[in-house]
Amino acid sequence: MFRLLTILALLALSLSPAQAATRRKKPADPATKPAAKPAPKQSHLPSGVSRRNVILIIVDDLNDSVGWLGGPAQTPNIDKLAHMGMRFTNAQASHALGNPSRIALFTGLLPSSSGVFNPAQDWWRSVQLQGKLTLPEFFLAAGYTTAAGGSVFESGHGGPHSVERNDLWEQRLPGITTANEQHVNGLNIWDWGALDVPDEETTDGKTVAWAADYLAQTKGKKLFFLTVGIDKPHAPWYAPRPYFDALPAEALKMPQVQADDLKDVPDFAKKELIAPDSEHARIVAAKAWPDAVRAYLASVAFADAEVGRLMTALEKSPAADRTIVCLTSSRGLSLGEKQCWQGGSLWERSAHVPLSIYDPGVTQKDSVSDEPVSLIDLYPTLAELTRQDVPKELDGGSLLPLLLDPAAKQAKPALTTLGGDEQASYAASSAAWRYLRYADGSEELYDRAGDPHEWTNLAAQPDHAADKQVLAAFFPKEWHHAERTAAQLAGKPGADGSTSFDLQAGDKLPADIAPAIAGRGIDVEVSYDASADTNQDSTLIAQGDAQNGWALHVVAGKPTATLFISGQPTTLSIEPLKPGPARLRLFIPGNGTVSLGVAGQSEIVEKSPFAAGFPAQPASDLSVGEAFPPIPDSKLFSGSLNHVWLTVLPPS
């Protein structure tokens, strides 16, 4: 009986505040109920506080080693900022990988709601995000000036699979590519080492200098939303030499580990996260563990110095007393705990992130909340702090009640996702527990206060069944796919034996349902706006692989078609497009010719590498707007594809 009452009590606590309030509220007496009036918008903010600017600082791959969380890193500037407002000691990344976690932050949606969980996913074309505003778009719509420097939507440095969206900002300093790895450490993994360069010549030095100039010019009354992405301590762990010199090896504090730490970890986790030839094994074999930890902490100290320069610039600016400052990271990072390095696991060190919010006139100086919070909570929090309506579709909840009352409690845990779709695993972090459930159903449960290093898995103990049940109730019940379904993508048969497909950016048809082109020709039309941003090496539509397939893409601004037949490529190109709307057509009628043209501009016709229809069916997917690996330097198409039509012609 006692066990039943305990479970019922715990389930009651899992109700949201709104649900609890609904149950407690006594119905109004109809006889005394006043006439209905439109309810004024309620705000819990102090009445004398006006709308303010916002600075969002994202320090890439910054784990809980910061000083204010009790870590060994030298972070006086980050600590000072944290003590100015509220420090959240139990903030969790929304995904174990940096890029999808950032997308969750900027959309306010869990990966299970947006369908975004891959590092190089074409996230802005997710059907779940259509019509929903990202944070910069939200503030722009509210009349703010929006600006960003450094890596923002992307955790890293761009490249063929870049998921940045520079066009979402009014002013943008793109992420500055870090110098090529110099193999200072001599290991065949990510690099680290001291560099003899001044701070101002580094990626982050240039980003912060740009942001400082921006702040110095904020003399007008128009509000701004400024995001500053600080690259370090993202790998490679390079930092100017003085930051290494300030960390003598003999004074280094190494991570606390336990030799048999993996004894009670599920096989699924060990198989997915720890390979026999893992990075950890190579680092240990090379006796490089202390060097790696030192390099990471030096990179953290360097990032802290850049935060200090940014805050000094704010203090000197006209906006100093009317600007909210939020600092966090996209994910945590492991330094050998549980034989893991970098991120990508559900364990605390990989998911725990520093988070502090300072709002002059609202937050209490040196306040602390130990309640579980998530990066998806930042969107609604910043909306409320700037006196705006919170979009109803967001998964996150505003942290304003905690900011106003540090003793306030959260009704739900913070969730972290690993993987996605049918292979999604989850972690739920509450004030007391951290519960992990993997895609195969295996589990881990840790006492956050009594076992902060997660050395003892309590999941199998019957006494904790109720604790797991309460936390598991918050795991997503379904996964919303970023792509349209197979039924939505099905082709429409024509009376002549052809099949037509009306496609859009982000569509993907797996090989088993991709258009059957063996023995047939194709007619492809793509309508889009040609501009300097879209005239890059990018793929519009492609099917197959380097053995058998085809692609319509852009190379150095030139519309190009490439056919792969039995491993041999055939390429056609025409002159670069004029800026403006364009309709590009690839026509392979199955009569031994292939033509590529742009309506009203140019066309080229050449001999096809096959006499009739395609000689074989491609073995891989068809995708729209994604990078196509068989083509060197192929990238995501960053522009807007207005229409994509594919017609598979009747058999030759």
- Rounded-to-integer distance, Cα 250 and Cα 410, Å: 42
CA 109 to chain centre: 11
Residue 588, both tokens:
């392979």
Q: Is 566 exposed, middle or buried (0-12, 13-18, 19+ CB in 10 A)?
A: exposed
Asked whether the beta carbons of 619 and 547 are under 8 A apart, the reply is yes
pLDDT for the residue 493: 94
Q: pLDDT at position 20, please?
A: 32
| CA torsion, ordered 225, 62, 119, 129, to nearest 10 deg | -30
- Write the CB contacts of 453 (distance below 8 Å, at least 6 apart in sequence): 256, 257, 258, 337
> Three-state DSSP class for 510?
coil
In angstroms, the CA 616 to CA 619 distance is 9
Q: Span 455-473, mean pLDDT?
A: 97
- pLDDT surpasses 90 at 24: no
| pLDDT, position 157 | 54
pLDDT digits (tens, 9 = 90+) for 553-605: 998 888 999 999 999 999 999 988 888 888 999 999 999 999 999 987 888 99
What are the domain boundaries of the chain? 53-177+193-472, 486-648
Range 53-177+193-472: architecture per CATH: 3-Layer(aba) Sandwich (3.40)
278: pLDDT strictly greater than 50:
yes
SS3 197: coil
Which tokens belong to 276?
Answer: 């026999």
DSSP code, position 419: S
Distance CA 167, CA 150 (A): 14
Among candidate residues 51, 155, 159, the one with its CA nearest the CA of residue 106: 155
- Secondary structure letter of residue 427 according to DSSP: E
pLDDT tens digits for range 600-645: 788 899 999 999 999 999 999 999 988 898 998 888 787 778 899 9
Q: What is the pLDDT of residue 338?
A: 94
What share of the chain has pLDDT > 70, as a percent? Answer: 89
User: Which structure tokens are listed for 364?
Assistant: 């209490």
* d(C-alpha 602, C-alpha 559), whole Å: 11
Helix (H, G, I), strand (E, B) or coil at 224: strand
Name the least confident of 8-17, 42-51, 415-424.
8-17
Q: Is the pLDDT of residue 26 over 70?
A: no
> 648 or 186, which is more confident?
648
> In this predicted model, which residue has the larger pLDDT, 69 or 164?
69
Q: In whole angstroms, what is the distance from residue 376 CA to residue 635 CA? A: 28
Section 453-474 average pLDDT:
97
pLDDT grade for 393, boundaries at 50, 70 and 90: very high
Beta strands in 167-299 (DSSP E): 171-173, 192-195, 224-230, 237-240
Answer whether 222's CB lies under 8 Å from 145's CB: yes
Token look-up 């004030």 returns 431
Confidence of residue 298 (pLDDT cuts 50, 70, 90): very high
H/E element holding 348? helix 348-351
Task: Please give the pLDDT value at position 12.
Answer: 39
Give residue 251's pLDDT band: very low, low, confident or very high (50, 70, 90): confident
User: Residue 117: what pLDDT?
Assistant: 95
Give the other-Cβ count within 10 Å of 276's Cβ. Answer: 5
For the stretch 283-294, pLDDT in tens is 999 999 999 999
Output phi, psi for 608, to 5 deg: -80, 150
CA distance 66 to 70: 7
CA distance 54 to 145: 10
pLDDT number for residue 81: 98
Per-residue DSSP letter, 485: P
When pLDDT is cut at 50, 70 and 90, the band that residue 228 belongs to is very high
Rounded distance between C-alpha atoms, residue 74 and residue 410, angstroms: 31
Q: How confident is the model at residue 533 (pLDDT cuts 50, 70, 90)?
A: low
Q: Classify strands 145-149 and 224-230 as parallel, antiparallel or unpaired.
A: parallel
Residue-level pLDDT at 580: 84
Q: Quick check: 585 and 597 in contact, CB under 8 A?
A: yes
CA distance 146 to 225: 5
For 310-359, write each residue's pLDDT tens digit.
999 999 999 999 999 999 999 999 999 999 999 899 999 999 999 999 99
Q: What is the pLDDT at residue 40?
A: 34
Percent of the chain exceeding pLDDT 90 equals: 71
Q: Provide the mean pLDDT of the chain.
A: 88
Can you tell me the mean pLDDT for 146-165? 78
8 Å CB contact between 330 and 321: no
Q: Residue 506: its pLDDT value, please?
A: 84
**Nearest 10 degrees: Cα torsion 163, 168, 171, 176:** 0
> CA-to-CA distance for 244 and 160, rounded, in angstroms?
32
Q: What pLDDT band is residue 3 in, cutting at 50, 70 and 90?
A: very low
Higher pLDDT, 316 or 120: 316
pLDDT (0 to 100) of residue 8 = 36
Using left for φ > 0, alpha for ψ between -120 and 50, and beta otherwise, residue 189 falls in beta
**Do residues 206 and 309 touch, judged by C-beta distance below 8 A?**
no
pLDDT in tens, 78-100: 999 999 999 999 999 999 999 99
Cα–Cα distances (Å) from 454 to 43, 269, 570, 640, in that order, read: 40, 14, 56, 46
Q: How many helices (H) and strands (E) does the chain have?
A: 16, 29
Confidence of residue 15 (pLDDT cuts 50, 70, 90): very low
What pLDDT was estimated at residue 612? Answer: 92
Q: Where do the H-state alpha helices sit in 111-261?
A: 111-114, 135-141, 203-216, 241-245
**Is residue 510 reached through a cis peptide bond, with omega within 30 degrees of 0 on the bond before it?**
no
- Across the range 13-30, mean pLDDT stands at 32
The span from the CA of 282 to the CA of 291, in Å, is: 13
Greatest Cα-to-Cα distance within the chain, rounded to the nearest angstrom? 86
Integer Cα distance of 338 and 341 in angstroms:
9
Could you tell me which of 90, 109, 77, 153 has the C-alpha nearest to residue 330? Answer: 153
Instruction: Count the Cβ atoms, other than its own, within 10 Å of residue 253.
Output: 12
- The Cα–Cα gap between 558 and 552 comes to 11
> Buried (b) or exposed (e) across 414-430, using 16+ Cβ within 10 A?
bbbbbbbeeebbbbbbb
* Short-list 552, 555, 549, CA closest to 567: 549
Q: How far is CA 174 from the centre of its chain?
A: 17
Cα distances (Å, whole numbers) of residue 183 to 189, 191, 287, 596: 9, 6, 16, 45
Q: Which CATH architecture has domain 486-648?
A: Sandwich (2.60)
Neighbours of 17 (CB within 10 A): 14
